[in-house]
Chains A and B, each alone.
Chain A
């Protein structure tokens, strides 16, 4: 039986599909990788926040990085010294979450 397609047509079609598949699946792979990374970061964010919460409630005595800052209250013309508490551990370093609590000193 004689084919309805020429050899050239079949080669062109296969080439188009192959190129499209390579491009599309590489994009898909990147998207799926990205989704996985976002999911992991999201989980870490909640973990980090849970650690901050447990620090605030006193449920953990785990040392957390802290720094001194000031909460400026305009109408009272005062600034309260506070301690900024960030999530501990290197895995939470890039997560921009923090709490703050009063220190003994006030200005």
Chain B
């Protein structure tokens, strides 16, 4: 080895170590940059999301006062927030039924930008936010299935084994499993919101569970700002007329005030909408042991009942409501009466899978049923209870009539149609 070569070897080692450290410093610098960029991205993303939500809330309130504004709502807006070092831009687009709000947040140095869109959905005419809305505790037993959302404005949602809510549950009180029924635990297919506790070990919640909510975000109530009570239709002040008798029962084919209606045993009350929609006012509808209500003609019937729909002479009444060829019927009331079916309430849609449906909007009335209960439609009542504390064979499938079913007691409103990225 030549003299002095040790110095070269030493310098080589030092240079190698120096290169290593330079590489580490570069890596560290990149890491710092990434961290800084990550924070910026999160901040901008949050601002975009929050901004969209805030403007959506503004428009929901504005359109509740003046729904007509929605028809011409295509604007670009700019906004600022002193806590955010950048620009906020909005694109608002409406097609009448949906309003899309896009919020774009951009940092001042233009290094990071992000956007968030959400959609508002128009609830026009007779729109229900859920399959069932009740102001008191709801108990689902005996293999009951609700195919839609459930809102319990006061009280608990009590679920027996083998029952299911195939939607989201919004409950002021607790969501509890009451066991019994054998077989599988009760299931809530989507999210569960409760003002109280949620029995997560007894109820299978396939979405997310949100216990101890205050307030509980009831969608229907939020959309409408409560449930306005309907006024009786103009027919209420007209002279009482009688339905036309037939061999199978009675027929109503024109709008009017029909006072008290009685459906005899094995007889039917037919609403014939061949000539157009019907608006009917009744004081009460009484029914014998087996009754049938038929809606035919493919149009809509509104039945305002001032007092009760229930059994004649306290018999164990049951009713089948058959909606034919896409006909729909609404039973509605501002009264605090009752709808009582002591031996079953069933809806038949003929032909199956058409638009036929039955809707009940009676925020102050009680709905009581025992034994078979099948409904294709939606219910808003003060209470929905099973007689003898049992609801048997409950099968409620949600249908929303929306703007197809105009009513004068609910103004069109806009509500969230879901976040979308």
User: Which residues of A does B touch, CB under 8 Å?
Assistant: 4-6, 9-10, 12-13, 16-17, 20-21, 24, 27-28, 31-32, 34-35, 38, 41-42, 45, 49, 52, 56-59, 61, 69-76, 80, 82, 84, 95-102, 106
Query: Which 4 pairs from chain A and chain B are nearest by CB?
Result: A102-B57, A13-B10, A20-B14, A100-B50
The residues in B between 37 and 63 inclusive whose CB is less than 8 angstroms from any CB of A are: 38-39, 42-43, 46-47, 49-51, 53-55, 57-58, 61
Q: Say whether B217 contacts A58, CB under 8 Å.
A: yes
Query: CA separation between A31 and B42, bound complex, in Å?
Result: 25
Q: How far is the CB of B405 from chain A (nearest CB, A)?
A: 31
Residue of A nearest to B53 (CB): A101
Question: What is the interface of chain B mostly: helix, strand, loop, or mixed?
Answer: helix
Asked whether B35 is an interface residue with its Cβ less than 8 Å from the other chain, the reply is yes
* Interface size bracket, B side: 35 or more
Chain B residues near A12: list those with CB within 8 A. 7, 10
Q: Say whether B46 contacts A73, CB under 8 Å.
A: no
Chain B residues near A45: list those with CB within 8 A. 35, 38-39, 42
30 contacts between A and B (CB under 8 A): A12-B7, A13-B6, A13-B7, A16-B10, A20-B18, A24-B17, A27-B24, A27-B25, A35-B27, A35-B28, A38-B28, A38-B32, A41-B35, A45-B35, A45-B38, A58-B193, A58-B210, A58-B213, A59-B208, A73-B77, A74-B78, A75-B78, A96-B43, A97-B46, A98-B46, A98-B83, A99-B49, A100-B51, A101-B53, A106-B61
Asked whether B315 is an interface residue with its Cβ less than 8 Å from the other chain, the reply is no
Query: CA separation between A72 and B88, bound complex, in Å?
Result: 10
Query: CA separation between A80 and B193, bound complex, in Å?
Result: 28
Q: Say whether A69 contacts B83, CB under 8 Å.
A: yes
Return the contact of A49 from the options B31, B46, B82 (Cβ within 8 A). Answer: B46
Chain B residues near A57: list those with CB within 8 A. 208, 210
Asked whether B9 is an interface residue with its Cβ less than 8 Å from the other chain, the reply is yes
Asked whether B221 is an interface residue with its Cβ less than 8 Å from the other chain, the reply is no
Chain A residues near B18: list those with CB within 8 A. 20, 24
Query: CA separation between A56 and B362, bound complex, in Å?
Result: 33
Do A17 and B46 form a contact, CB below 8 Å, given A58-B213, A59-B210? no
Return the contact of B31 from the options A16, A24, A38 (Cβ within 8 A). Answer: A38
Q: Say whether B39 contacts A106, CB under 8 Å.
A: no
Query: CA separation between A103 and B76, bound complex, in Å?
Result: 23
Query: CA separation between A26 and B158, bound complex, in Å?
Result: 65
Asked whether B421 is an interface residue with its Cβ less than 8 Å from the other chain, the reply is no
Chain B residues near A35: list those with CB within 8 A. 27-28, 31
Q: Say whether A24 contacts B43, CB under 8 Å.
A: no
Return the contact of B10 from the options A17, A73, A99 (Cβ within 8 A). Answer: A17
Query: CA separation between A56 and B57, bound complex, in Å?
Result: 14
Query: CA separation between A76 and B214, bound complex, in Å?
Result: 32
Q: Say whether A75 contacts B75, CB under 8 Å.
A: yes
Return the contact of A72 from the options B27, B79, B210, B212 (Cβ within 8 A). Answer: B79
Q: Say whether B78 contacts A9, CB under 8 Å.
A: no
Residue of A nearest to B4 (CB): A9
The residues in B between 145 and 180 inclusive whose CB is less than 8 angstroms from any CB of A are: none
B264-287, CB under 8 A of A: which get 1 and which 0?
000000000000000000000000
Asked whether B389 is an interface residue with its Cβ less than 8 Å from the other chain, the reply is no
